[in-house]
Structure 1
């Protein structure tokens, strides 16, 4: 099946304003809170917001659909919708509905998700996740972009005609080299979660570029997630991170993440906890000027976009201040 691409949907990174390359993440917050955050972000001139999909928490596309009816310009993205929990045709149906509320504002991030919650919540055992993601992407692209899909593969047998089509960019989550290669070959971008910048620049990005070149297409954007907090005390920042993420043990105890951290030069402890160095490389902190400088620096190194996850803070002004900072850069 021929898969069209949207490689030219987003202009070359160098031609885009800094603000357009930054996205604010709403992380598993209740729908009403997320809606208020998104409305406030648009009012502050933030260019794009993203929503995670925790398992089995609120459906992110439904939350973004509500946000689409309360906003007019802000771009909306999922980071990510887990593939094993959603049939690709059903996800295309949801995406079409949202796209009708917010034309040209949706980017659909998909990925296998974390094995543990998928198994415990849905009773599913992810098998060959990269092959599954390739097939899923093929079906979803056809359904969304052409309005028709007929596919008989290893994981899905489906034939469906949808009421309309929409060229919604489809990005995939990526952690190790093979996933970044798949993004370079077929997807409209890669979303990297808790990956150290040096790993992305020295391993992920070259892999994507080589794969895209073999496929005869431009390299799609690499979007890197970073934690950000307005706090100039390194020890306070580390403590805040460890309090929010239980020392990072969830990710550190996932074999695929632990392997990535080791490859990046930041092996985790036997109990899965993160070192100070790993936290320091993933968290951007300081005052507004320091944070703005660091965000611009990361993008200047070669990353296309940054997905900003505000770290929880005892300061209630942290999120509003970060929102306004992103909107004015």
Structure 2
């Protein structure tokens, strides 16, 4: 297998205890990684990841993603370093802008800065704190001043991934980060947009890491379900997808992925549902992962959809099929 397989959980709709137990089983099944998705109104994933660090032994733990509006950059770095220490170096910090409306209205975090310049400043502080043990930055949108004493253990090689799919943010990730986390991207979008943008970023790196992109991780969240109720679960996923069709950033993504007619109609159809998911049997899961791997994705993060999200048996069948 040329790629690694992990699982992603959105801790909403199932109990916290169920979430913890599912991760235990996912580790036992041999998954490479377990990622937690964070949205308001859910369990705070940093705290849940700390619990998982204490109860797991091997599996890599990641955030997919922690939004910038959830904490200042120094606090984000401290969260990551703490989770890195608690897990024995098994944590990956996945961070991203999050949704502007959620941050400004739902969370009340204030007006968001311009996307790419703001993220560049934020990453500068986070990466300095993690990699060098100190940060001293006064920027236009973010500032941070911190020093970690030599007596405090740090994981200076803790990976930082950027959750994004926009070309300019992908370039920034290729320039300064350790990986990217993709969401709702088709294999053709990875080929035509993601990889060219990352290569432009690789060409601007100045830290000597990932020459030509070697070792840089490209992780894709894949909505999947191994289910006997294929049609019903495709309908459920279509309803879930309908919310994204109304969001401007996702509308641009979907149009660039060849779903312009569906965007103009204001609703996903069967073609779009099939193009953005792997719902059916193990064969659908394997075919979808192979398509992503062919275009440069190195980590497949299985995100159970439809009935596979709520039903533990189908959840485990979905993850197990991806690992087979």
Equivalent in 13, 27, 35 of residue 10 of structure 2: 27
Determine the structure 1 residue equivalent to 2:235: 239
> For structure 1, which segment, 31-40 or 234-243, has the greater mean C-alpha deviation from structure 2 after superposition?
234-243
Determine the structure 1 residue equivalent to 2:221: 225
> For structure 1, which segment, 265-274 or 207-216, has the greater mean C-alpha deviation from structure 2 after superposition?
265-274
Q: Separation in 2 of the partners of 1:311 and 1:255?
A: 23
CA-based RMSD of the aligned residues comes to 2.0
Determine the structure 2 residue equivalent to 1:250: 243
Shift of 1:271: 7.2
Q: In the TM superposition, what are the counterparts of 1:279-294 in structure 2 within 5 Å?
A: 279-294=273-288
Shift of 1:108: 0.5
Q: Separation in 1 of the partners of 2:266 and 2:71?
A: 29
Change (3 A) 1:89 1:271: farther
Shift of 1:114: 0.8
Determine the structure 2 residue equivalent to 1:36: 21
Shift of 1:138: 0.8
What's the CA shift string for 1:110-161, capped at 9, x where partnerless?
A: 0010112112222222120221111111100111122111111111232111
Determine the structure 1 residue equivalent to 2:190: 200
- Structure 2 unpaired stretches of 5+: none
Shift of 1:232: 6.3
Determine the structure 2 residue equivalent to 1:142: 128
Q: Separation in 2 of the partners of 1:265 and 1:104?
A: 40
Shift of 1:272: 4.1
Q: Does 1:63 align with 2:63?
A: no
SS at the partner of 2:203? helix
- Structure 1 unpaired stretches of 5+: 1-16
SS at the partner of 2:243? helix
Determine the structure 1 residue equivalent to 2:83: 98
SS at the partner of 2:300? strand
SS at the partner of 2:184? coil
Determine the structure 2 residue equivalent to 1:177: 167
How many residues are treated as equivalent by the alignment? 308
Shift of 1:62: 1.0
What's the CA shift string for 1:87-123, capped at 9, x where partnerless?
A: 1111111112211111221110000101121122222
Change (3 A) 1:236 1:82: same
